[in-house]
Amino acid sequence: MATVESTELVTLTESAAVKIKQLMQEESDVSVLRVAIQGGGCSGFQYGLGFDRGPQDGDAEITLHGVTVVVDQFSAPYLRGAEIDYVDSIQAAGFAINNPNAVSSCGCGHSFQVDDEAAAEGAPHGAACGSGCSH
């Protein structure tokens, strides 16, 4: 497990940290927020946020505003510099990831595509939109 500076990987806003702590208190036997990307979605990748019992071998681990965040080696290059925020407005409520690596995102806002040249060596490349969402 590697510890990295928040500026090197992801950042977490204070509002996101408050909401994450609140949600973690409602769960049993969890201690970290796991942030990942997965293949899929209409733009190639989609974000995954969830709670876990702890870091796994190879995870990067960061503590931000009292929340321990872990990111697996596969996801780290695609999340480098991303900011996790929590938005609670009349129009929407939920977590938002502002990712500087995303060159386009789906109309639904839950998936994204990266520049193939910027993708880390050995990591998968973005896929074309295929489920009806528009970029």
Kindly state the greatest CA–CA separation across the chain. Answer: 42
pLDDT confidence of residue 114: 53
Q: What is the 3-state secondary structure (H, E, C) of 24-74?
A: HHHCCCCCEEEEEEEECCCCCEEEEEEEECCCCCCCEEEEECCEEEEECCC
pLDDT (tens digit per residue) in 85-113: 999 988 888 998 888 877 756 544 444 45
Average pLDDT for residues 54-78, to the nearest whole number? 94
Show the CA angle centred on residue 129, arms to residues 37 and 119, nearest 5°: 45
Domain extents in the chain: 2-114
Q: Rounded mean pLDDT of the chain?
A: 77
Give the model's pLDDT for residue 131. 33
**Structure-model confidence comparison of residues 42 and 59, the more confident one:** 59
In the block, residue with structure tokens 């639904």: 108
Class in CATH terms, 2-114:
mainly beta
Q: Is the pTM of this model over 0.85?
A: no
